[in-house]
A = this chain, B = another copy of it.
């Protein structure tokens, strides 16, 4: 028998492959299924997250400067640690590369990795370099630290909690559309100059995303512990589904509450795309989605870049989107399908 991996999808495949792995070590507090694994070390926990980026699937060096690739590869992993309400401290970086890459290209890659390490205060402590028959694969593991009682999981949202989003959504996806379009134009006519001039914001969100370390620091300052948290890597809708599934709740998302940058909205219209769909399903913005106890609303109300975009409902109420037009739809999670 031969079952195609496409039939399961990425999340289905992970669930399927890891279903028979019980956690037996007393220090394994959290295994597969959150932004990061959690290992007990007494008062402080070690939080571990890992990501693999494959050339031709996750990145295209035709328009991604390799230094930016190094930076982004680190940032997306750090984002997972922050999404646990913890702080990254170390990373390991493994790369497989074909002989098409020169030492100078790798120096640029590691310059980007170093820039991210410096910006976020993490140390590169290990890794592996090996050759690959074709293309590049980057695998990064981020290791963080967090107080056990402050860690936030995907399964902590309760009915009545408010749904919050940091920063704006959709721009990274639209930046990608723009880069893809310019690449295609360039392939058809190599003499052409790319026209990205007036879209710096969206292109920047795609090429050089940042992780919301500032928000985690702010939470500490104002004494806020979200009830659940996840980073928005696959798109808001997909992340809402993760939180609802693991917390066994439903949700009502207000389309009017989903923050978008004006440049991203305009770009969506240029591409004849629905801006809200880009914000809901675009992904790669690396903002945080979190839920809070309504009693904590005063703590976030006056904070910049935190938007309240809905409410947690009972599981029986489903996962709904209240559109700007006032219609109630079932929310659909498209996310990214790599397979």
A interface residues with partner B (beta carbon < 8 Å): 1-8, 10, 13-14, 16-18, 20-25, 27-28, 30-32, 36-37, 39, 41-42, 44, 46, 48-58, 89-90, 92, 94-97, 99, 101-104, 106-107, 110, 114, 117, 121-135, 137, 139, 141, 143, 145, 338-339
Contacts and interface: CB of A to CB of B under 8 A. Distances in A.
A6 B126 CA distance: 21
A138 B51 CA distance: 12
Contact of A32 (B37, B99, B126): B126
A134 B57 CA distance: 11
A55 B130 CA distance: 11
Contact of A145 (B27, B102, B135, B137): B27
Contact of A133 (B56, B101, B339): B56
Q: How many copies does the complex hold?
A: 2
Nearest to A14: B129
A315 to B, nearest CB: 26
8 contacts: A25-B122, A31-B125, A37-B90, A46-B46, A48-B126, A52-B128, A53-B130, A134-B135
Contacts of A339: 99, 131
B27 A89 contact: yes
Closest 10 A-B residue pairs measured CB to CB?
Answer: A37-B125, A139-B139, A3-B103, A37-B126, A52-B94, A2-B102, A21-B124, A31-B125, A41-B41, A28-B123
Contact of A8 (B4, B44, B57, B103): B103
Contacts of A36: 126
B3 A104 contact: yes
A328 to B, nearest CB: 35
B110 A17 contact: yes
Nearest to A100: B5
Contacts of A22: 123
A126 B123 CA distance: 21
A139 B103 contact: no
A126 B107 CA distance: 29
A58 B128 CA distance: 13
Given A28-B89, A106-B5, A128-B51, A96 B137 contact: yes
Contact of A110 (B18, B57, B145): B18
A261 B137 CA distance: 38
A97 B10 CA distance: 12
A36 B10 CA distance: 30
Given A17-B107, A39-B46, A89-B39, A97 B141 contact: no
Given A42-B42, A96-B137, A141-B48, A57 B130 contact: yes
Contact of A127 (B32, B114, B143): B32
Given A48-B143, A54-B96, A10 B123 contact: no
